[in-house]
Amino acid sequence: MVVFRLVFFLFFFKTTVTDSAPILKAWVLGLKFDMRLSLILTVPLLLIAFVFRNNFFTKPAIRKPVFVYLFLVYLVLTFAYVFDLGHYAYLGLRMDPTITRFLASGERADNARMLWQSYPVVRTFIGIGLFLFLISCLFIRSFQKLAKEPAVKLSNRKYTGWLFSMVILFAAGIYANIAYFPLRWSQAMFTRDNGVTSLALNPVLYYVSNMSGKTDTYDIAKTREHYPVMARYLGVEQPDVEKLNFIRDIPGSDNKKMNVVLVMLESTGAAVTSMFNNPMQPTPNMQRLADSGILFNNFYVPAVSTARTVYGVTTGLPDISMTKTASRHPKMIDQRVVLDQFKGYEKYYLLGGNTNWANIRAVFTNNVDGVKIFEEGYYKAPKADVWGVSDYDLITEADEIFRDAGKRQQPFVAFLQLADNHPPYTITKGAGDFKKVTAKEIDKDKFKKSGFVSIDQFNAIRYEDYNVGHLIDLAKKGGYLDNTIFIMFGDHNCTLNPYHFTPVPEYELVSGSVHATCFIYAPALVKPRVVNYAVSLVDIYPTMAKLVGMPVKNYTLGQDMLDSTQTSRYAFATYAKNLQGYIAVIGERYMYEINDKAKEAYLYDLQGDPLKNVRAQFPDTAKALDNLTRAFYESTRYLMFNNKK
């Protein structure tokens, strides 16, 4: 593996990076991936050695299967690495499962001729044969030599110690990271340079990581079929059904460039907050800020997943990947995003834990040039739990970063991700004035109606609200409150008991799972108002650009949340109901959903009988929303693979 990596570096590696540090880092990461693959492939041999001890070398019945296994491993690896080098030479990309497209019916002969005419096929096969012959000779001689050596007798105690040591060493080598998360392919994407990233990857592990996403694809015919609907809905300036153009320009302004702090509120659905009449009124700070800013009554996220939310808000695309989140899918990471176009701004991503979580690091480093990531290891505060430092400490240290930018008169956009409103619901003392309530101190009737599952869950949302207040207090003291736009939004709702205090029976409809909190607080910029039409998570960055007056191109599906000129707005969402998947659009009055498997569709009048399917009574509305739902779905599938920089 190291030999092939060296061959790649000497003969195939191309980069625009002039600094040696990223290249050295890529080498280190690449060797870690190579070590992982080597250890994984050696595990069967280790198990045989554990069981048969010295007979591993002396018994022909064991030696021959081991030799066959090693020969097959070298055979497969050699062909894999050779094909990878050829694929890279041809396309400038590491090999992935899409290589099977060259075997498509009607194209195999042409592709074979291209391969024969473009590459030294005969010499390559001769070289592979010679290499495997030499490896076989080496194995045979090594086994024969070791078989003649006298056996080393170990006591049971020493043998147990050796066994335990091997298990620990193998586990550590396969884990390959000193962090809460194992080494992941996203760590190879620490630059935006394809050559450096390719050097850091192991081609076999990269291929395997793509295999689980092979069912995620798009249908170009269906995308074109529904494109006119999507283009009209988005207001595409130059619609083109052949080129599938989604680009819209967001104009800039000469206003003073304000800072933006995006605060992702962990598991903060609309129903658990005071703004949406939860009987326990757990979020007075959020209520105060929302009353002084802009509250979005119908804000929806595309899916119930924190990783999907981070991907969705950053890219402007709902994460509808089937087998794993898009942040874990190498083919869906590379996107043209609004944040990358914020010229003159510093960009920060702040997380109390490790950004290897769900491969979130790649969502930012691969798409946002110059983004500064602050994660565990940076903070002075101790870790509170598995999610890293507490939200209180995260906000406290984030304030230092924001103040420093203020001193330098440097505008910034910060993505501040909170995490404590999530099991294990770790709650620190904060400044010493936060007090958890007990079951004896609450109104049990109100608590039962509120939907909270436990007192710990209730205290966690109270603690999150406390920390939101802490953030605003620090902004006032730090002198950057009046020059900052705070956009706070929940990533999804949390698991709740049945509740019925909302105007719409969202618990029964399951729309409550994707109905989240969202409000904008910017006392020097916006006047208090309530927005009742539907908006989506993917609308946040276009709205942010419009608020600060930054001219950008919008390549994906987000819209300005404050543009009230569009008379009919809907948010696209996916969710599970009765263990079945649904895609849906949700508006102020209507909700339309399609069952993924059964393909049955339902239309609900949220201002009438919201639990009754009225598709037959309103066929025109149902047809229009069916087209819009499918347009959102097909456009998203297409753009996830085809919105590359």
Between CA 487 and CA 481 the distance in angstroms is 13
Most confident of 18-27, 344-353, 379-388: 344-353
Question: Do 131 and 280 share a domain, yes or no?
Answer: no
pLDDT at 596 (0 to 100):
86
Secondary structure class of 457 (helix, strand, coil): helix
**To which H or E segment does residue 6 belong?**
helix 2-11
Return the pLDDT at 598: 79
Residues 268 and 391 grouped into a single domain: yes
Mean pLDDT rounded to a whole number for the chain = 91
Tens-digit pLDDT profile for residues 143-182: 778 777 777 777 788 888 888 999 999 999 999 988 778 8
Q: Taking 90 as the threshold, does the pLDDT of residue 402 lie above it?
A: yes
Structural domain ending residue among the three candidates 162, 190, 211:
211
Q: Mean pLDDT over residues 522-537, rounded?
A: 97
Same domain? 40 vs 113: yes
Q: What is the percent of the chain where pLDDT is above 90?
A: 69
Check: CB of residue 357 under 8 Å from CB of residue 305.
Answer: no
Structure-block tokens of residue 313: 């808000």
Supply the pLDDT for residue 323.
67
**Residue where a domain stops, chosen among 189, 211, 233:** 211
Q: Is the pLDDT of residue 102 over 70?
A: no
pLDDT at 412: 98
373 with 355: CB under 8 angstroms?
yes
pLDDT of residue 212: 63
Percent of the chain exceeding pLDDT 70 equals: 96
Its pTM stands at 0.82
Name the residue among 251, 255, 246, 287 with its Cα closest to residue 270. Answer: 287
Give the start-end residues of each E strand in 211-253: 248-250
**Cα 391 to the center of its chain, rounded Å:** 21
Q: Which helix (H) or strand (E) holds 208?
A: helix 203-211
**pLDDT tier for residue 98 given thresholds of 50, 70 and 90:** low
Predicted pLDDT of residue 645: 84
pLDDT in tens, 442-470: 999 999 999 999 999 999 999 999 999 99
Nearest 10 degrees: Cα torsion 478, 479, 485, 486 = 30
* Confidence category of residue 59, pLDDT binned at 50, 70, 90: confident
Is the confidence at residue 296, as pLDDT, over 90? Answer: yes
Q: Which of 211, 243, 271 is the last residue of a domain?
A: 211
Whether residue 587 is predicted with pLDDT greater than 60 in this model: the reply is yes
Single-letter code of the amino acid located at 307: A
CB-based contact 494:454 (threshold 8 Å): no
- Together in a domain, 337 and 408: yes
602: which strand partners? 593
Domain count along the chain: 2
Q: Which domain holds residue 523?
A: 220-642
What is the per-residue pLDDT for 162?
84
Which amino acid, residue 280?
M
The more confidently predicted of residues 387 and 283 is 283
DSSP conformation class of 335? -
Q: Are residues 385 and 509 in the same domain?
A: yes
Q: Which two tokens stand for residue 571?
A: 């948010």
CA–CA distances in Å: residue 93 to residues 5, 13, 87, 541: 15, 11, 7, 30
3-state secondary structure 130-180: HHHHHHHHHHHHHHHHHHHCCCCCCCHHHHHHHHHHHHHHHHHHHHCCCCC
> 207 in helix, strand or coil?
helix
Does residue 178 share a domain with residue 289? no
Find the range with the poorest average confidence among 322-326, 397-401, 407-411: 322-326
Do residues 408 and 307 both lie within one domain?
yes
CA-nearest of 608, 589, 580 to 510 is 580
- pLDDT band for 339, please (50, 70, 90 cuts): very high
Same domain, 495 and 591: yes
Range of 118-127, 128-137, 459-468 with top mean pLDDT? 459-468
Shortest CA distance to 33 belongs to which of 4, 63, 73?
A: 4
- Mark whether 562 and 597 lie in a shared domain: yes
Do 538 and 622 lie in one domain? The reply is yes
- Residues with Cβ within 8 Å of 356's Cβ and at least 6 positions away in sequence, in order, are 177, 179, 181, 182, 183, 184, 186, 187
Mean pLDDT of 67-94: 86
Whether 554 and 338 have beta carbons less than 8 Å apart is answered as yes
Strands 248-250 and 515-516: unpaired
Same domain, residue pair 287 and 183: no
CA distances from 343 to 240, 257, 522 (A): 29, 11, 21
pLDDT at site 307: 92
Per-residue pLDDT, 110: 59
Q: pLDDT digits over 218-233, tens only? A: 999 999 999 999 999 9
Q: What is the Cα–Cα distance from 589 to 591, expressed in whole angstroms?
A: 7
**Residue 605 scores a pLDDT above 90:** yes
Per-residue pLDDT, 414? 98
Residues 56 and 196 grouped into a single domain: yes
